[in-house]
Chain A
């Protein structure tokens, strides 16, 4: 991108801020109001830039739709509540779309969702990319034969389960949850899938709490998130 177009875009920032009703437009559209498309092409503002700006805008909208509830479930915890994201059909749709865009060409055959909020994001992604949806659940919820993986909590331990036969050794899987904190649940989920021989391509969450270093718990398995809940 030419250095000429950079200062031009910077100068756009002032008038943009002063026109708040229009800020609900997607950024590329907003920019195109002020820059006739012929000038855009002339100054080499690429569609990749537009896509990148659009993506950042979508992520900002998603982040701002998540509300924080202090002292839930216990004093001192700042709970990241995604239910307000679900009340905004555009933001919810954008969140799903960001995952779908990432995984649609990755030959993913399984989307595994961790109970219960992973069940909200996993199925729409699975449907869009044509993958199976596999629910991973707390003990005794899944009927029929299951395999279990235990994981440690701050005090004590917990378990998640997966149906025997749901996932095959030829499957390429992603694991979805709304949030990664310490990474214990996600690591247990990865282990369940790997025990049946599947390849876990990536873990994906809407929110990461980076100070809790969950990413490190996943070892070699990459983690993709939309927003940081700092």
Chain B
């Protein structure tokens, strides 16, 4: 489900999309990086972003919002088909998750790279184009039967979201939906989510 398909009906979406800048050749040549930091410099657009998610999830019995600390995969220029995936930068999922959690009265659960969370954790390995990586969650962060959302700034190949879903479900939670600001549809991340629905604000082609 994508708010973008309906963008004529919600003027906030254009404002959000135009606040996101594209940085060419980052982190590697040929990659057109979608940089959300410029969205954060526009208090109105940032607030609208959060409001769009809060409107969707408020009052829906969400107990927990899990924020991803890792993004893998970036869009590449047309000349680089098939798209490369790269280790992404950590922590941007922390920016959108907490404001949504606070507004809907849910707890916020950070999901992190190995060895960042203190205390007991469970780990989920996921495959990258070259090698693999791991996402961790605290034991006890979520209880069996709780309803959870996974929030991230961008979904590309869906690998990180899939790892997040697995972590939550292994702990007995029910993942209701994944929510991202931006989707790169050509990378088909939507299909990687174990059948979980994905809601995005903006599609970037």
Bound complex: CA of A140 vs CA of B86, how far in Å?
14
B124-143 to A contact mask, C-beta < 8 Å, 1/0:
00000000000000100100
Contact B109 A87 (CB under 8 A): yes
Name the residue in A86, A93, A124, A131 with the highest tally of chain B Cβ atoms < 10 Å from its Cβ: A86
Contact B118 A69 (CB under 8 A): yes
Q: List, in ascending order, chain B residues with CB within 8 A of A73's CB.
A: 115, 118
Bound complex: CA of A140 vs CA of B105, how far in Å?
35
Q: List, in ascending order, chain B residues with CB within 8 A of A140's CB.
A: 27
Bound complex: CA of A86 vs CA of B140, how far in Å?
13
- Chain B residue with Cβ nearest A95: B102
- Interface assignment of B204: CB less than 8 Å from any CB of chain A: no
Interface 9-residue window, one of A27-35, A113-121, A182-190: A113-121
- Which residues between 37 and 91 of chain B lie within 8 Å of chain A, taking CB atoms? 37, 40-43, 46-47, 50, 69, 89-91
- Interface assignment of A210: CB less than 8 Å from any CB of chain B: no
Bound complex: CA of A134 vs CA of B89, how far in Å?
16
CB distance from A119 to the nearest CB of B (A): 4
CB distance from B120 to the nearest CB of A (A): 9
Q: CB < 8 Å: which of A135, A142, A143 contacts B95?
A: A135
CB distance from B183 to the nearest CB of A (A): 19
Question: What band does the interface of chain B fall in when counting residues whose beta carbon is under 8 Å from A?
Answer: 35 or more
CB distance from A137 to the nearest CB of B (A): 8
Contact B35 A144 (CB under 8 A): yes
Contact A119 B141 (CB under 8 A): no
Q: CB < 8 Å: which of A81, A135, A163 contacts B119?
A: A81
- Secondary structure class of chain B's binding surface, majority of residues: mixed
Bound complex: CA of A83 vs CA of B110, how far in Å?
7
Bound complex: CA of A116 vs CA of B113, how far in Å?
12
Q: List, in ascending order, chain A residues with CB within 8 A of B138's CB.
A: 83
Contact A143 B91 (CB under 8 A): no
- Interface assignment of B181: CB less than 8 Å from any CB of chain A: no
Contact A87 B41 (CB under 8 A): no
Bound complex: CA of A218 vs CA of B149, how far in Å?
39
B84-126 to A contact mask, C-beta < 8 Å, 1/0:
0000011110111011011001111110100111110000000
Q: List, in ascending order, chain A residues with CB within 8 A of B141's CB.
A: 83, 87
Q: List, in ascending order, chain B residues with CB within 8 A of A83's CB.
A: 109-110, 117, 138, 141
Given contacts A79-B118, A143-B23, contact A86 B108 (CB under 8 A): yes
Given contacts A79-B118, A92-B102, contact A123 B109 (CB under 8 A): no
Q: CB < 8 Å: which of B89, B95, B118 contacts A141?
A: B89
Q: List, in ascending order, chain B residues with CB within 8 A of A131's CB.
A: 43
Bound complex: CA of A144 vs CA of B21, how far in Å?
10
- Which residues between 4 and 46 of chain B lie within 8 Å of chain A, taking CB atoms? 21, 23, 26-27, 33, 35, 37, 40-43, 46
Rank and list the top 7 A-B pairs by shortest CB-CB distance, nearest first.
A143-B23, A143-B26, A69-B118, A116-B91, A72-B118, A119-B94, A133-B40
A-B contact pairs, 12 of them (CB 8 A): A72-B119, A83-B109, A83-B117, A89-B102, A96-B102, A115-B91, A116-B94, A120-B108, A120-B110, A121-B98, A133-B46, A134-B41
Binding site for A on B (CB under 8 A): 21, 23, 26-27, 33, 35, 37, 40-43, 46-47, 50, 69, 89-92, 94-96, 98-99, 101-102, 105-110, 112, 115-119, 138, 141
